[in-house]
Amino acid sequence: MSNIAETFLEESEVKAADLKHRRTINFNIGRYNAVVPQGKMQFDDVHLARERAKNTKWRAIETLDQQLEQFELNFTKRGGKVIWAETAADAMKEIISICEAKNCKTLVKSKSMVTEEIHLNDHLQKHGIESIETDLGEYIQQLDGEAPYHIVTPAMHKSKEDVAQLFHEKLGTPLDYTPEQLTIKAREILREKYVQAEVGVTGANFIISDIGAVAVTENEGNGRLSCAFPKTHIVVVGIEKVIPSLTDLGLFWPLLSTFGTGQKITVYNSIIAGPRQANELDGPEDMYVILLDNGRTNILQNPKQRESLYCIRCGACLNACPVYKNIGGHTYGATYSGPIGSIITPNLQGMDDFKHLSHASSLCGNCTEVCAVKINLHELLLDNRKEAAEEGLASFGEKAAWKLWKFASLHRGMMNMGNGPLKNKVVNGIFKGWTKHRSTLNFSKKTFNELWKEQNKL
């Protein structure tokens, strides 16, 4: 077992026993779950909408090279620049190069999971560049020195009292400040940063290939400010975010908002097709789009796992997952948590270190049931387990246990041996992890096979 897997198990055990954490996360997720059904009512046939979205993403991913080339062609026509980054290191090298060319000292950025993936803030800090998170949830997490807890709601695990305590310690606000007062304080600080920043960074919810633009969805307006005030706008986006046409947004925007937060449509939805044009009054002077691979083509070449690239990062599978709701987002030790994170992380960062995430699932199928684009998430989790087994990544003890189980299952006599006390002693003594938080296993004195033979006198 890798050190990463051991850390995951240790932290999961601690977090699962933290009743305060479980109350907070279940309360916050419960608020989303209460309104999502209302948001779905905007669709005449929500299942048909999800099916069409899945088919659209299937077409986009199956023709990914063509879609991205079309995007680049159309985007560069309006003066934008496209940078292809094979790895996180390549992306960071390009961002640092742009920042140095612009004499950047302060950078503002909107919420973006892909910038968390490449650890943008850490790298900028090492180069003497102040990077400020402008999404309120991300800003809270940055103040606390933590990574985002949830794909959609970065500080979901914090109560209003936790945030008040944090602001008191970091910003000197009174402990009795209300959420509204705390928000006003954050706004005062961030508004100054927008004016100071030389560079703004955003992610992109969608890459629109037929018009050469990116679509950014948000609820606070910070994304628009991050790309409008600074003279240079950098977009960092995974190559899988492509959709073929502008008209597809009419389907994807409502799906993303409804399945993510229960809204009919997110508050701010922007389409950005390049830097400021000659006849325009606002916008950046330069705009760059960094198309990040960072292991995504490894998923693309796998016919089964390719389906995970359809994900639109709505976060619905996290809210539905019983494992996530007990162990939380940070325990996963990866940028992407929950069911979708458990699927893509082993493929992005290495099966050997992260194969354990595919086992962090009850396989209840609830994630598949709620997925906005009908990804068969629980089947992909099983496929990851199968791939890890085929690569021989299981421990010697695990392999031996399964071989013994297989042999016993194929020999009915062995299964009938040692019923009752002997089986109880062996199983409860060996599988201590199973009984640590459960009652001890108590086998019957006779197996069903033996009872059947007795009843039917066989």
Q: What is the CATH number of the domain that holds 163?
A: 3.40.50.10420
**pLDDT of residue 213 exceeding 80:** yes
Q: CA–CA separation, 2 vs 407, rounded Å? A: 28
Q: By the 8 A CB rule, do 105 and 231 touch?
A: no
Q: Is residue 48 part of a domain?
A: no
Q: How many folded domains does the chain comprise?
A: 3
C-beta of residue 224 within 8 angstroms of C-beta of residue 285: no
Asked if 287 and 433 sit in the same domain, the reply is no
pLDDT tens profile 89-110:
999 999 999 999 999 999 999 9
Q: At residue 276, what are phi and psi to the nearest 5 degrees?
A: -60, 130
In this prediction, residue 150 carries a pLDDT of 96
Q: Are residues 372 and 279 in the same domain?
A: no
Asked if residue 273 and residue 252 are part of one domain, the reply reads yes
**The pLDDT value given to residue 81:** 98
Q: Is the pLDDT of residue 423 over 90?
A: no
Strands 199-202 and 232-238: parallel
Instruction: Report, as an integer, the average pLDDT of 226-250.
Output: 97
pLDDT, position 425: 77
Picking from 261, 294, 327, the residue at the C-terminal end of a domain is 294
Contact residues for 62 (Cβ-Cβ < 8 A; gap 6+): none
Instruction: Give me the DSSP letters along 43-80.
Output: -SSHHHHHHHHHHHHHHHHHTHHHHHHHHHHHHHTTT-
Residue 51 lies in a domain: no
Domain identity same for 92 and 216: yes
* Residue 304 is assigned to a structural domain of this protein: no
If asked whether residues 198 and 337 sit together in one domain, one would say: no
Average the pLDDT over 321-350 and give the result. Answer: 94
Within a domain: residue 283? yes
- Report the pLDDT value the prediction gives residue 292, as an integer from 0 to 100: 98
Q: Mean pLDDT across the stretch 180-189?
A: 96
Looking at the fold, whether 250 and 342 belong to one and the same domain comes out as no
**Boundary of a domain, candidates 225, 259, 294:** 294
Is the pLDDT confidence value at 410 over 80?
A: yes
Taking all residues of the chain, what is their mean pLDDT, rounded to a whole number?
93
End-of-domain residue from the set 267, 294, 321: 294
Q: Are 71 and 216 found together in one domain? A: yes
Q: Please indicate, yes or no, whether residues 279 and 325 belong to a single structural domain of this protein.
A: no
Residue 68 lies in a domain: yes
| pLDDT tens-digit readout, 111-124 | 999 999 999 999 99
* CA-atom Rg of the chain in angstroms: 25
One domain, residues 200 and 270: yes
Same domain, 289 and 315: no
Name the more confident of 183 and 403.
183
pLDDT score of 418 more than 80: no
The residue-averaged pLDDT of 235-241 equals 98
- What are 400's two structure tokens? 């031996």
In angstroms, what CA-CA distances link 145 with 28, 139, 194? 21, 10, 21
282 with 407, same domain? Answer: no
For 414, the domain range is 400-456
- When mean pLDDT is compared across 131-135, 207-211, 422-426, the lowest value belongs to 422-426
Q: Which two tokens stand for residue 458?
A: 């066989």
What is the dihedral sign for C-alpha 197, 203, 204, 205?
negative
289 with 233, same domain: the answer is yes
Percentage of the chain beyond pLDDT 90 is 80
| pLDDT of 338 strictly over 90 | yes
Note whether residue 361 is domain-resident.
yes
Evaluate whether residue 47 is within a structural domain.
no
**Pair 164, 176: CB distance under 8 Å:** yes
For residue range 165-176, what is the model confidence (pLDDT) as tens digits? 999 999 999 999
> Does residue 1 register a pLDDT over 70?
no
**Quick one: tokens of 231?**
């003279």
Q: What is the pLDDT of residue 439?
A: 78
Which H or E run contains 131?
strand 130-133
In a domain, 299, yes or no: no
Residue 422's pLDDT is what?
A: 75
> What tens digit of pLDDT does each residue of 392-402 get?
877 777 788 78
Residue 88: CB partners within 8 Å, gap ≥ 6?
117, 118, 119, 292, 294
Number of Cβ within 10 Å of residue 171's Cβ equals 14
What integer pLDDT is reported at residue 408 of this predicted model? 81
